[in-house]
Amino acid sequence: MAQHSTTPSPRTTPRIAVIGTGFAGLCMGIKLKQAGIESFTIFEQAPELGGTWRDNDYPGCACDVQSHVYSYSFEPNPKWSRMFAPQKEIRAYTEHCAQKYGLLPHIRLSCKVVSARFDEASATWELTLGSGERVTVDMICSATGFLNRPQVPQIPGLDKFEGKIFHSAKWDHSYDLEGKTVAVIGTGASAIQFVPQIAPKVKQLHLMQRTPPWVIPKPDRATSAFEQGVLSVSPLSLRLFRLALYWWNELRVLGFVIDPKIMKFPQRAAGRYLARTIPDPVLRAKLKPNYTIGCKRVLFSNDYYPTLKRSNVEVVTDGIAEITRDSIVTRDGVARKIDTLILGTGFLSADAWAPFEIQGRGGLRLDDAWREGAEAYFGTTIAHFPNYFMIVGPNTGLGHSSMIFMIESQVAHVMHCIDAMRRHGARWIEMRQDAQQRFNRQLQERLGRTVWATGCGSWYLNKNGKNTTLWPGFTFAFRLATRRLREQDYVFASGLGSRDHAAGAAAHAAAE
C-alpha cells in the first residue's frame, strides 16, 4: 500500500490533517496558514468544498442566525443581501474564503477519511482513506461537524415504498414536485423552511408532525443598497453592527441556561403569534407545543404558519403506523396515498459523535471511550487521543447564537496547543483524564439546570438523556476560558514512546 505524507514541507512544522471543508475546517486552515504553517492538507469527502451549507440546499434553506454574525470575524461581509442570508450566498461566502486565504492547493476533494490510528512509538497518526491510501501525519484537526449524517426514521415498511423518497439534506432537484401528492415527515428547522416553498407547487401536502415546534417570527428583511454601501465604506460601522447583533443574541442565553423561568416571556409571545396567525382552533390546538420554549430549538419563520392554513396542506398528528408501497398509514388506520415522501427527520447527532473509526493511545477506540456519551474538554481535546483536535466537538453547539464564534474560539485553542507543543519541544499533547472529567462534571451540572433539561425529547440528548451537544453558557465565557491554554490540564510527551510530563506532572501522577 502506498504511503503518502501530506503537502510536502520541511519538518519544522507539524504535518497536519484537517478533515472537512465547512466553516470549521476552513477556519482551521486559514489560521494555520496565518501562523506560517503550510504543512497541512484538508481532506474533504465530497467532490466540492463546503460542509452543511453545501449539503443542505433544499428549497428555502437559509440561516436562522443573522449573517453579520454568522460569518468569520476576520472576513466580515458588508454585502449580505438579507439579514438572514440564503444558503447559496453562505455557500458562496465559504468558497470565497477558501480562495482568498489560499486554501485551494491544500484541499483534497473526494477524499474520505475512513479511519485514523495513533502510533505511540512514532507519535504519529495514520489515516486510511476510502481509496485505501494511507497518510501519516503528526496531528489531526477533525472538523466534520455533527449535523451531516441524515437520520432515516425506523418506520415499518419504509423500504417498501415505491414512490419517490429523499431526505431534506439530499434534496433531489431533478425531481419535479409540481402536482404531486407529498408527505413530509418532520417539523424541525429544515422542514419549516422547505414546506412553505413546496406547498404552492404540490397538489396535496400531508405534514406528519410528531411534536409541534415553537415558532416565532423571523426578523428577516433584504438589506438596502444604502446599508450595504455604508457598511462597505465604514469598517467601524460593520464591526459595531456585528457587535450589536452579537450582544442581542447573547442576552437570549439568560432564559436558556441561567433561569428557564425567564422563558415564559418568549413563550407567551410565541403563543400570541400562534393565536394571531392560526384562527382555526382545531389547527391551533395541533400546533400548540406542550413543553417549555427553547427545550427544542426555537424556530424562526414568517411563512410556516400561514402555509399550514392552505387548503392543500393537512397537518397530521396521529402517529405513523407504517408505510406501504404507495401510502402512509397512521395509527388511527387512515391510509393516505402519496407519490412522494420527504424526510425532514434531521440528523444522527447526540449518539453518533465519532466521525469515523478512531483509535487513540493504547488502541482505545473513540466509540468505546464515549460509550456513556461523547465528551471532551471544551469540545476540542480528548484524553487518550493525543494530537487529535475536534472543532465543533461535544457540547459546543448553541441554541441562541452563531457557531462561527465557537469555531473561532476552538481554532484559537488548537493553535495554543500547537504553540505550547513547540515551546515544550513535545511530540504530542494530550488531555489529562482527570481534568476532562472535572470539566465535564461541572458542565453536566450546569446543563441539568438549563431549559434543555425541562423534559422534552430532542436531538440535543443521547439515548441516556445526557446532553452531549450544547454549551450551557455565554459564548464569551467559552472564548475567555479557551483564550489561554491551561497547561496543567495537559500532558506533553517529548520522546519516542515516552511520556515526559512537561507540565502538570505532579497532578497527573496523582491522577494516575
Residues that bind ligand NAP (CB under 6 A): 62-64, 147, 153, 155, 168, 185-191, 208, 210-211, 297, 320, 344-347, 457, 459
Q: Are 40 and 73 in contact (CB under 8 A)?
A: no
* Torsion (CA) 135, 141, 145, 149 in degrees, nearest 10: 20
For 264-292, the DSSP string reads HHHHHHHHHHHHHH---HHHHHHH---S-
CB nearer to ligand NAP: pick between 65 and 123: 65
Sign of CA dihedral 262, 266, 267, 268: positive
CB nearer to ligand NAP: pick between 48 and 318: 318
Report in angstroms how near the CB of residue 184 gets to ligand NAP at its nearest.
Answer: 9
In this structure, the strands spanning 139-142 and 299-300 are unpaired
In degrees and rounded to multiples of 5, residue 93 shows phi and psi of -65, -45
**Planar angle of CA 211, 214, 217, nearest 5 degrees:** 145
* Torsion (CA) 324, 330, 334, 338 in degrees, nearest 10: -50
CB nearer to ligand NAP: pick between 145 and 504: 145
Q: At how many degrees (to 10) do helices 403-424 and 475-483 cross?
A: 10
Q: How far is CA 40 from the centre of its chain?
A: 23
CB nearer to ligand NAP: pick between 67 and 436: 67
Residue among 439, 427, 394 nearest 502 (CA): 427
CB nearer to ligand NAP: pick between 377 and 459: 459
CB nearer to ligand NAP: pick between 155 and 202: 155
Report in angstroms how near the CB of residue 432 gets to ligand NAP at its nearest.
Answer: 31
The set of cell numbers assigned to 51 is 460542509
Q: Among the residues of 167-257, which ranges form H helices?
A: 191-198, 225-233, 235-251, 253
* CA atoms in the 13 A half-sphere facing the CB of 78: 16
CB nearer to ligand NAP: pick between 53 and 118: 53
Q: Identify the H or E element spanning 305.
A: helix 304-308
CB nearer to ligand NAP: pick between 111 and 143: 143
Report in angstroms how near the CB of residue 452 gets to ligand NAP at its nearest.
Answer: 12
- C-beta nearest to ligand NAP: residue: 188
Question: Using CA atoms, how far apart are residues 282 and 289, in angstroms rounded to an integer?
Answer: 14
CB nearer to ligand NAP: pick between 379 and 504: 379
Q: How far is CA 333 from the centre of its chain?
A: 38
Which residues, listed in sequence order, are joined to residue 88 by a DSSP beta bridge? Answer: none
Q: Residue 49: which region, alpha, beta or left (left: phi > 0; alpha: psi -120 to 50)?
A: beta
CB nearer to ligand NAP: pick between 170 and 484: 170
Which SS3 state, helix, strand or coil, does residue 125 take? strand
CB nearer to ligand NAP: pick between 185 and 369: 185
Report in angstroms how near the CB of residue 459 gets to ligand NAP at its nearest.
Answer: 4
Report in angstroms how near the CB of residue 60 gets to ligand NAP at its nearest.
Answer: 9
Report in angstroms how near the CB of residue 154 gets to ligand NAP at its nearest.
Answer: 6
Report in angstroms how near the CB of residue 213 gets to ligand NAP at its nearest.
Answer: 7
Question: Using CA atoms, how far apart are residues 341 and 439, in angstroms rounded to an integer?
Answer: 43
Q: Are 20 and 51 in contact (CB under 8 A)?
A: yes
